Structure 1
Amino acid sequence: MYKDELSIFIPNSFLSESKDLKVRTYKVGILGRALAVFQADNVIIYNDDHVKNEDGESDAAFMAEVLSFMDTPQYLRKQAFPIKKELKHVGILPPLRTPHHPLNNQPDVGDYRQGFTVKRNNKGTFVDIGMDKLAFCKEQLSVKKIFDFKIAKIAKKEVIVTPDKPDDIYWGYDVISSNKSLKNSLKLIKPDLVIETTRYGDYIDSIFDELKHKVEESKSIAILFGGPYSSIQEDVSNANWDLIKLNTIPNQGTETVRTEEAVVATLSLFNFMRY
Structure 2
Amino acid sequence: MQHPPKRKVEWAIAIPSSLISECRDLREQTTKVGIVGRAAAIFRVDEIYVYKEGEKASYYQEIIYSILKYMECPQYLRKYLFPRIKQLKYAGVLPPLRTPHHPLKSERIIVKGHEYREGVVIENDPVKNKSTVYIGLDKPITCSPARPLFSRVTVDVDCCRILSKEEVPVYWGYDVIKAESLLNAIKISNADFVLGTSRYGVMIGEVEEDLKTKLFSRTRKVLIIFGGPHKGICEILKEEGVDPESVCDLIVNFVPYQGTKTVRTEEAVLIVLSILNAI
**8 Å contact 2:198–2:252 — kept in the other structure?**
yes
Instruction: Summarize deviations over 1:208-254 as a string: whole Å, max 9, x none.
Output: 11122111221110100001101012036587x76111100111010
Match of 2:141 among 128, 135, 147: 135
Aligned residues: 261
Taking a change above 3 Å as real, the CA distance of residues 242 and 27 of structure 1, as seen in their structure-2 partners, is closer
What pairs with 1:66-85 in structure 2 (closer than 5 Å)?
66-85=67-86
Given the two structures, how large is their TM-score scaled by the length of structure 2?
Answer: 0.87
Question: What is the alpha-carbon distance in structure 2 between the residues aligned to residue 3 and residue 97 of structure 1?
Answer: 22
**8 Å contact 2:105–2:137 — kept in the other structure?**
no
Please tell me whether residue 120 in structure 1 is matched to residue 88 in structure 2. Answer: no
Please state whether the residue corresponding to 1:27 is helix, strand or coil. Answer: helix
**What fraction of aligned residue pairs are identical, expressed as a percent?**
39
Instruction: Summarize deviations over 1:21-67 as a string: whole Å, max 9, x none.
Output: 1100000000011000010000001122xx3x1x2112111111111
What pairs with 1:52-201 in structure 2 (closer than 5 Å)?
53=55, 55-105=56-106, 107=108, 110-122=114-126, 123=128, 124-152=130-158, 160-165=160-165, 166-178=167-179, 180-201=180-201
Please tell me whether residue 211 in structure 1 is matched to residue 211 in structure 2. Answer: yes
Please state whether the residue corresponding to 1:82 is helix, strand or coil. Answer: coil
Which structure shows the bigger proportion of residues in helix conformation?
Answer: 2
Letter in 2 for 1:37: I
Please state whether the residue corresponding to 1:186 is helix, strand or coil. Answer: helix
* Corresponding residue of 2:3: none
**8 Å contact 1:9–1:223 — kept in the other structure?**
yes
Please tell me whether residue 11 in structure 1 is matched to residue 16 in structure 2. Answer: yes
Question: What is the alpha-carbon distance in structure 2 between the residues aligned to residue 139 and residue 44 of structure 1?
Answer: 30
**8 Å contact 2:66–2:87 — kept in the other structure?**
no
Match of 2:47 among 42, 45, 61: 42
Comparing 229-238 with 30-39, greater Cα deviation is found at 229-238
Taking a change above 3 Å as real, the CA distance of residues 201 and 237 of structure 1, as seen in their structure-2 partners, is closer
Taking a change above 3 Å as real, the CA distance of residues 236 and 7 of structure 1, as seen in their structure-2 partners, is farther
Instruction: Summarize deviations over 1:176-202 as a string: whole Å, max 9, x none.
Output: 012x22112212121111111110000
* Corresponding residue of 1:157: none
**8 Å contact 1:192–1:242 — kept in the other structure?**
no
TM-superposed deviation, 1:147: 1.4
Please state whether the residue corresponding to 1:130 is helix, strand or coil. Answer: coil
Unaligned 5+ runs, structure 1: 154-159
Question: What is the alpha-carbon distance in structure 1 between the residues aligned to residue 208 and residue 151 of structure 2?
Answer: 43
Q: Give the CA RMSD over aligned residues.
A: 1.9
Please state whether the residue corresponding to 1:136 is helix, strand or coil. Answer: strand
Given the two structures, how large is their TM-score scaled by the length of structure 1?
Answer: 0.89
Question: What is the alpha-carbon distance in structure 1 between the residues aligned to residue 153 and residue 169 of structure 2?
Answer: 18
